Chains A and B, each alone.
Chain A
Amino acid sequence: MVAATGGNVIEFLAEVGAWFADPATWSGRDGIPVRLWEHLWISGVSLAGSVAIGLPLGLAIGHTGRGAGAVVAIANIGRAVPSLGLMGLAFLLLLPLGLGVGPLPTIVALIALGIPPIVVNAYAGLREVDRDLVEAARGMGMREREVLGRVEVPIAMPVILAGVRTTAVQIVATATLAAAIGGGTLGQLIYIGFNVGDQVRIFGAALIVAALSIGTELGFAWIQRAATAPGLRGRAYVPMEPAQVGRGGGAATPP
């Protein structure tokens, strides 16, 4: 069993470096390239799914203002549901359909986990838009869809994108658990490392996941800034708890 030497951090990090430098680490079914790609595409598909479901839902509730209670419920459930438990549940539910092993249960679970921050932020962002602007837009003869698309969403864009960013980071980090239910991803390297007692590999793979998560955070932060209308760029939003959502504003903070 390969164990990390006593307290010698430098030696351990040198071993991790050696692991990264070893060509074997980059080859085969359980090499970094295969599992990294798997991690990325599963995360991407799941994010797309969360946005496809969560964004229309959040915009609809936010625009009409009805259903604040539902948003709070969604937010709280989203925080309470354990990720691995949900993946296990998805695995069991998809087994009878012959789809239990493979990426599908992971994707289903990640989409479900990713929906709450998007819904909460879309709702909160829209609720924060100055009511006078909305009324003015209606007064100008804009239809509801135009009010939403041309006034509310552009103003709420930073908050909406913050929600997408939160979900993206959460998905990238949580996708790692897929290895527990046969879904692969970088988590596979961690599980193998754990099973054979190779702490160097566990650390190395975890390092990549951490780098991915940080990269996702920074990448989406850039997108968020780029997509915010210039007139709104200076404006800071104050993150609030979901409990305050019903009272007219609140945004999910990135973890």
Chain B
Amino acid sequence: MRTNRTFVLGAALLALVVSACTPGEGDSPAASAGGESQAADLPSLTIGSAGFWESAVVAEIYAQALEDAGFTVERDFELGARDVTHPALVAGEIDLMPEYIGGYLAVTYSGEPTPDIDESLTALRTELEADGLVAFEPTPGTDADGFAVRQETADELGLATMSDLAEAAGDLTWGVAQECAENPNCGPGLERVYGIDFASLDVETLAACSTAIAEALNADNIDVAQVCTTQPEIAGFNLVLLEDDQGLAPAQNLVPVVRQEVVDEAGDVLEATLNDVSALLTTEELTNLGAAVILNGESYEDAASQWLEDNGL
């Protein structure tokens, strides 16, 4: 009896130790899908992503495109927010991050992005250079903070743009992120651009761009919700995204941000492959990808490979 128990305990302990010591695999099966012929010349790289669906799907698309081009790709997705992903990128723990021009410039570099994409991208590139990072060509698609209402509300009050919303602002319950009062794209921005007196609004706070805030809007707990413009729940709940007619949102196109060392090693193939992919990521494509992974529950791998197939890449 005692020997048996000891043996079982010992075996269990051994199994535990062995499993703990096994290095973690990437999120997806081993990357050997693409052509092998150039693999010897091209460096392997690690692609990271932030903790939400859009970052992960775009990162997966870049990953598969680069694998098809002959790179060996490791995936380190859903690392967290910028305060995790940016240091990881600078330190070389990851080599490539899909980032948003405006958000990256404002949050990480305390810059002041504008709706003008060239201006914002130039400013971002200057900052990135100091950190040994390069941003390639931006996507035509953007994902910015926006505000949505229910269809009934839009019909009742005749709301199509943010300027329309500004007139009715005081009569509605707003759902915004906890930090909205301090976020230049939110509270202060609404005042500056649309003349909305944010401090006097009836406000509830929930995470912006979340399913929770969309559900609260849909269930009539709030009348306006701070959403992301490609958020799948907009279509899913038949919400109305109000047009940013006065240009509150900064340029929020995506760019692949890569470490300079990797760019030097990899040559033109890296840039060309990424730019080819980016050129086809329109806002509509991003929104459709969102619908696929969030509303239809597809995996990032499937959605990405389907998208690459559909777009002839």
Contacts and interface: CB of A to CB of B under 8 A. Distances in A.
A191 interface: yes
Contacts of A179: 178, 205
Contacts of A128: none
Interface in B207-254: 207, 212, 215-216, 219-222
B166 interface: no
Contacts of A96: 219
Contacts of A188: 178, 205
27 contacts: A1-B82, A1-B108, A28-B181, A30-B181, A91-B212, A95-B219, A98-B220, A98-B221, A100-B215, A100-B216, A101-B206, A102-B204, A179-B205, A180-B207, A182-B175, A182-B204, A184-B205, A191-B178, A191-B205, A192-B178, A192-B179, A192-B182, A195-B178, A196-B183, A197-B82, A197-B83, A197-B107
B35 to A, nearest CB: 41
Contact of A98 (B179, B183, B219): B219
B221 A195 contact: no
Contacts of B107: 1, 197
A99 interface: yes
Main secondary structure of the interface of B (DSSP, over half): mixed
Interface in A12-29: 28-29
A92 B221 contact: no
A100 B219 contact: yes
Interface size class of A (residues with CB under 8 A): 20 to 34
Contact of A101 (B177, B178, B199, B222): B222
Q: 7 tightest A-B contacts by CB?
A: A101-B204, A95-B219, A195-B179, A191-B178, A192-B179, A100-B221, A101-B221
A59 B203 CA distance: 43
B225 to A, nearest CB: 11
A1 to B, nearest CB: 6
Given A101-B206, A102-B204, A29 B182 contact: no
B179 A196 contact: yes
Interface string A68-102: 00000000000000000000000110011011111
A249 to B, nearest CB: 31
A160 to B, nearest CB: 38
Given A1-B108, A181-B206, A92 B215 contact: yes
Interface string A174-193: 00000111101000100110
B22 interface: no
A181 B216 CA distance: 10
Contacts of A30: 178, 181
Given A98-B220, A98-B221, A179-B178, A1 B83 contact: yes
A160 B209 CA distance: 45
A83 B177 CA distance: 22
B110 interface: yes
A100 B108 CA distance: 33
Contact of A181 (B183, B212, B222): B212
Interface in A159-207: 179-182, 184, 188, 191-192, 195-197
Contacts of B219: 95-96, 98, 100
A195 B177 contact: yes
Contact of A182 (B83, B108, B110, B206): B206
A205 to B, nearest CB: 12
Contacts of B181: 28-30
Nearest to A193: B179
Given A100-B219, A197-B82, 19 more contacts: A1-B82, A1-B83, A1-B110, A3-B83, A28-B181, A28-B199, A30-B181, A92-B215, A95-B221, A100-B215, A181-B206, A182-B204, A184-B205, A192-B178, A192-B179, A195-B177, A195-B178, A196-B179, A196-B182
